[in-house]
Amino acid sequence: MITTPLDPELAHLADLDVGFDGDTFDVAGIRSGILELIQPPPPLDGVVTDRRPIRSSPPLEVEVCSPETAGPTGPRPCLLWLHGGGYVIGSAGMDALRLQTWAARFDCLTVSTEYRLAPEDPFPAAHDDAMRALGWLVEGADELGVDPGRIVVAGASAGGGLAAGVALAARDQGIPLAGQLLFYPMIDDRQQTASSRWEAPVWPPKANNFGWRAYLGDLYGGEVPPYAAPARATDVRGLPRSLLIVGGADGFFDETVSYASRLAHAGVSTDLRVYAGAPHGFDLMAPDASATREALRDAEIWLERVFTAPRVGQAAQV
């Protein structure tokens, strides 16, 4: 049972049922319901949004937001975004308003990846898709007008877990990243923390169990690589500057705080923001709440610092 009180502005999220019921579920129905719940906004003035295929096998699409006007001399920074949805639901367009806003505010490109979903495509499919999107950015930086020394990888929930896995893989492959921005990341399949057992709103243990089982497939309960579940990484040294965001009423509270602590102890420049009484996905489900405005403001302050900091070294080829 969760004992921490919910933020009054977010208390209505306790009644939200994501639709998972043990091992009985309708993936197609849940996916359809989420898409109906989160309608893409009309495009912002001054921002161009378009879908682009990446030449690869299997096919992969990304949604790119860029400012209409010519920017300052030189290439722009870039945010590579991975959407949430427990590795089983969601789409590249579900965070469109946020990404359009950031493209305009920071004069940057934002790239949201339409990665493959489980259970049809378990790990490493989504991770591989995210890495292919990063490779497309790095290799096509000149054509895209992207500064390969100012790429931030970011995401929410499962997307935060994917972003953390990308950061680990990029480090191991010698691809410098400017930062990782992780909103309540889904990073620990072991589900052994106190908060992972909370009957928390929005994403309770039954949903989390299904998400991990679907994503890991035959790996579930066995030796899981850190690219799939980044909390399992034994060495987090050398990761990029990091901001982790989580609500105090989120089942991922413990694993997020623990990962932030490990990053800091490993010498990674790390910021952690906790919002009291906020459940999982609060910023997406309650866009007008005070906690949401505060979280997005904190993310934007951090992004401003990262995008204006000295660029990291020349990125390697993927």
Residue 313 lies in a domain: no
pLDDT at 26: 73
Residue 173 lies in a domain: yes
pLDDT at 317: 46
What CA–CA distance (Å, rounded) separates 274 from 258? 12
Residue 313 confidence class, pLDDT cut points 50, 70, 90: confident
Q: Indicate if the pLDDT at residue 316 is higher than 60.
A: no
Is-cis flag, bond preceding 176, omega within 30? no
From 37, 34, 7, select the one nearest 207 (Cα to Cα). Answer: 34
pTM: 0.94
Domain hosting 169: range is: 8-308
In sequence order, what DSSP letters do the residues of 64-116 get, joined into one string?
EEEESS--SSSPEEEEEEE--STTTS--GGGGHHHHHHHHHHHT-EEEEE---
Q: Indicate if the pLDDT at residue 314 is higher than 70.
A: no
- What percentage of residues in the chain have a pLDDT greater than 90? 82
Residue 22 lies in a domain: yes
Which residues, in sequence order, are bridge partners of residue 79?
Answer: 110, 152
What CA–CA distance (Å, rounded) separates 137 from 143? 9
Q: Indicate if the pLDDT at residue 223 is higher than 80.
A: yes
Burial class (CB in 10 A: 0-12, 13-18, 19+), 186: buried
Residue 32 lies in a domain: yes
- The tokens for 141 are 């930086």
- The tokens for 66 are 């860029």
- The total of structural domains in the chain comes to 1
Residue 317 lies in a domain: no
- Containing 183, the helix (H) or strand (E) segment is strand 179-183
Contact 274, 261 (CB under 8 A): no
Q: Helix, strand or coil for residue 181?
A: strand
Find the CATH number of the domain harbouring 40: 3.40.50.1820
pLDDT at 29: 72
Taking the CA atoms of residue 102, residue 108, residue 114 and residue 115 in that order, the dihedral angle to the nearest 10 degrees is: -110
For the beta carbon of residue 61, count every other beta carbon within 10 angstroms: 15
Residue 62 lies in a domain: yes
Residue 280 lies in a domain: yes
Contact 149, 241 (CB under 8 A): no
Residue 231 lies in a domain: yes
What CA–CA distance (Å, rounded) separates 51 from 53? 7
**What is the CA angle 6-10-13, rounded to 5?**
95
For 41-80, what is each residue's pLDDT tens digit? 677 778 999 999 998 788 899 999 999 876 666 799 999 9
288 compared with 27, residue with greater pLDDT? 288
318 compared with 111, residue with greater pLDDT? 111
312 compared with 1, residue with greater pLDDT? 312
Alpha helices in 173-314 (DSSP H): 205-216, 253-265, 282-285, 290-308
From 21, 16, 23, 68, select the one nearest 45 (Cα to Cα). Answer: 68
